[in-house]
Structure 1
Amino acid sequence: MKRGKRIRVLAKPLPPVRIPRKLRPPRGVRLVSHGGFPPGPRTGWVRMSFRRLFDEQHVILEIQNHTKDEALREMVEYLGKIHRFPKKRVEALVEAILEREAQGATGIGKGVALPHAKHPELKQTYALLARCSDGLDFNAADHQPVHVLFLVLSPETNPEEHIKFLRWISYIARQRDFRSFFLQARNVEEALGLLDEFGPQEG
């Protein structure tokens, strides 16, 4: 019985995958391949959105302090507690957020503040959503007291991602209904639901 002839198959490199515009991700969403294949309608997208930074632990329904600096310290210390930051790191982050605030007020108007800072000791971004019913003076341009606060602490290694996250938050904060409903939220679940409802569309 004769053996069949060997057939040599020369593998040609695959052409680069071009993603149709309608399948491209929205801004602020990082997409990775699924199962080793290029992402697409059959393999599906794995979304890494900014929304993932907020969960039940990352919402404070009522700030206890009633001055800007004390409220910022409270928020940073809260993050430090749930993420088990060393005390020195917490103090360094408090200093960073206060220094950033001294450079320019982060009250963006309409009762919202977006305090943020970057720090070399951080390896990832941390965020916190908080409410102050009595209002805080953040030297906002419209002189309105701040009731809604988004705190963002980011590493220094990815400034573009930091900017995109601030824009994502600003998109939500600009919406009057989000601000109104958040001030009325009865629990953390309702607050998080508002981020889902009023956040930028992701697909």
Structure 2
Amino acid sequence: DEPEIVAVARETIELAYLVAVQHLAPRPRAVLILRDVLGWPAKDVAEFLGDSVNSVNSALQRARAGLRERLPAERQDWSGGEQDAGTRDLVRRFTDATVATDIPALAALLRDDVRCSMPPTPGLYVGRDAVVNDWIESGFEGMKGLRAVLTSVNRQPAVAFYLWRKREGAYLPLTIDVLRVVGGTITEIVTFHDDRFPRLGLPERLPADGTE
């Protein structure tokens, strides 16, 4: 009946939750998954990990505290589901601006406290300025030859980007941006590497003639 346990039990498998979990140390992460996700008793977890019950309980408290620091405050309002016209238009503008590598246009779509991460690569950028500076420093403005395919991940809008490869004569998978939209602005971008394309049933390549 502890409030923390109730809150975790109600948490859906959201991308932000997965991003938060990856920032936990290995043992607290393992304890959190065994206790709060799989529902194992503390005694069983302690036996499985070769540890004491007190140690397991302490690790669980640290893990829960770590999640509270990483998860956005409005997560209880997330509902997913069908996208409204405003969200579809926002995703379209995000897609167009990304393909054009237009950073000012992208920045205009972000909320002030936007969060950006690229698991499993370490690092979490919080705030529009931090995200935009990362894009500039990574040389995003100079990236040309992008194409995009709209998709969804965990009921959230997502955009799969392909990059033109002259040697192969085709657009090949690059990254997938999963967006969280709240109040008509983008509040979070989680970027995944090209190894996720097959799992989402995305094309292995896009031909040069523009057909898929």
TM-score of the alignment, normalized to the shorter chain, above 0.5: no
- The structure carrying a bigger strand percent of its residues is 2
Higher relative contact order (CA 8 A, sep 6+): 1
TM-score norm. by structure 1 comes to 0.29
- The structure carrying a bigger helix percent of its residues is 2
TM-score norm. by structure 2 comes to 0.29
**Considering only CA atoms, is the larger Rg found in Structure 1 or Structure 2?**
1
